[in-house]
Amino acid sequence: MRNVAAVILAAGEGTRMRSSLPKALHPICGKPMIKYLVDNIRSIGIKNIIVIVGHRSNLVKKELDGVECIKQDKLLGTGDAVAKAKTALLKDKKIDSVLISCGDVPLLKPETLKKIIGRHVSTRSACTLLVSTLKNPTGYGRIMRSSNDRIAKIIEELDASIYEKVVEEINVGVYCFNKDLLFEALGKIKPNNKKKEYYLTDTIDVLARSNAIVDSVSTDDTEEFLGVNTRKDLIEAEMVVRRRILDRLMRRGVSVIDPNNTYIEEGVEIKKDTIIYPYTFIDSNVKIGSECSIGPFARLRSGTVVDDGAGIGNFVEIVRSRIGKNTKVRHQCYIGDTVIGKGVNIGAGTIVANYDGKRKNKTVIEDNAFIGTGTILIAPVRIGKGAITGSGSVVTRNHNVPAGKTVVGVPARILRKK
């Protein structure tokens, strides 16, 4: 794919989201919408990716570290947006084809992108479109074919006559263009339509008239091209992605007892023979080993690592922490900024007070320690190997418990054996 570049159109305001966050950055299962497309394009081997940004472009740029972002100051239409990438793309002589997609179709699969490009290359067309047939095509550009079934042009909803509106074949909004022909055609389009915009889709008419081949790949997977325009669309996309994540985990040997009530974000690693019980929430950037038991009602937040054989039970919240091999944190606990060793037992209701109002402080609990029920550990503090805290003890900051010792009380003191 070294001769293919990609352009993602994401300058639109996304007014219908009613949000101060740019649409492209709304998260779906913990990952900004635009990143799904960027990652999928990268996954098929395309390195040269340009994102056209507009509304609050700095925020988008920051999130897309390493991707070229070009600003479109005035939203003059999708044709104008693509034209913004002209200088960058013409400069790169290796590139002969350009994949173009709207930024708000996060569910597009890499296989589909590959198919469009593959078809485009094998038929040597000027443009290959992704099309579909919908019983209700409202809102989409309609594909107009000539008598010999060739694609002749695309008519946008607003500009369509009642005869054109009944056409059920639609433009999904994903294209592969021959680079030179694309920019030549873009130079010829005019904003003579209801919206007074430069439509990228008008290049199809220009190309077809010049007898260039306009080809298509068809998809009947409507879920795949769900366009996210409203909060409702966003949640629909979230449900699809959530299910895809769980399916992927199950294929890899993880048991998810109740997929309808399990919330695992993108960027979570779980090894085989681990069981996830219902109402568990696992954020991005969490790693879980094999043969663990998680939930029900557990919440694992970013930066958490759970080693093999560990057990995390109900109403346990863990953040930025490591839970060692075979360690158990079974009931009603909060663990933050803590490194816990192997074979530790954390009693019911244990709380790590990691935040002192200014700073988040670290706690260490070494191998085989036994933390009694209702213990409060005020960070920073260290519990030595095999040490024990009595029920209800409050271990105050910097009052480390030496290995093998038992502490009890408030504040916790070392218990001297008589």
- Catalytic center residues: 331
What's the token pair of residue 169?
Answer: 């074949």
Q: How far apart are CA 287 and CA 293, in angstroms?
A: 13
Q: Is 403 in the site for ligand UD1 (CB under 6 A)?
A: no
> Among 378, 400, 398, 401, which Cα is nearest to 388's?
401
Q: Which of 156, 205, 238, 283 binds ligand UD1 (CB under 6 A)?
A: 156
Contact region with ligand UD1 (CB under 6 A), list: 75-83, 175-183, 285-293, 349-357? 75-83
Listed in order, strand segments (DSSP E) in 134-228 are 142-145, 151-155, 169-178, 214-218
Residues contacting 308, CB < 8 A, separation 6+? 271, 289, 290, 291, 292, 325, 326
CA 146 to chain centre: 40
Is 75 or 403 the residue whose CB approaches ligand UD1 more closely? 75
Q: Is 140 in the site for ligand UD1 (CB under 6 A)?
A: yes
Q: How far is the CB of 182 from ligand UD1 (least distance, A)?
A: 13
DSSP 8-state assignment for residue 355: B
Q: Is 103 in the site for ligand UD1 (CB under 6 A)?
A: yes
Residue 274, strand partner residues? none
3-state secondary structure of 278: coil
Is 12 or 341 the residue whose CB approaches ligand UD1 more closely? 12
Q: Which residue has the tokens 């999708």?
A: 78
Residue 114 backbone dihedrals phi, psi, to 5 degrees:
-60, -40
Contact (CB, 8 A) for 333 and 316? yes
What's the token pair of residue 236?
Answer: 């629909």
- Give the x/- contact pattern for ligand UD1 in 197-236, rule: CB under 6 A: --xxx-------------------------x---------
Q: How far is the CB of 243 from ligand UD1 (least distance, A)?
A: 23
What's the token pair of residue 11?
Answer: 């300058």
Q: How far is the CB of 215 from ligand UD1 (least distance, A)?
A: 17
The residue whose Cβ lies closest to ligand UD1 is 141
Q: Which of 30, 32, 173, 309 binds ligand UD1 (CB under 6 A)?
A: 173
Q: How far is the CB of 94 from ligand UD1 (least distance, A)?
A: 25
Q: Which of 4, 6, 9, 226 binds ligand UD1 (CB under 6 A)?
A: 9
Is 10 or 249 the residue whose CB approaches ligand UD1 more closely? 10
Q: Which of 44, 59, 76, 88 binds ligand UD1 (CB under 6 A)?
A: 76
Q: How many CA atoms lie within 13 A of 363 on its CB side?
A: 32
Q: How far is the CB of 50 from ligand UD1 (least distance, A)?
A: 11
Helices (H), 327-385: none
Query: Which residues form the interface with ligand UD1 (CB under 6 A)?
Result: 9-12, 52, 72, 75-78, 80-81, 102-104, 140-141, 154, 156, 170-171, 173, 199-201, 227
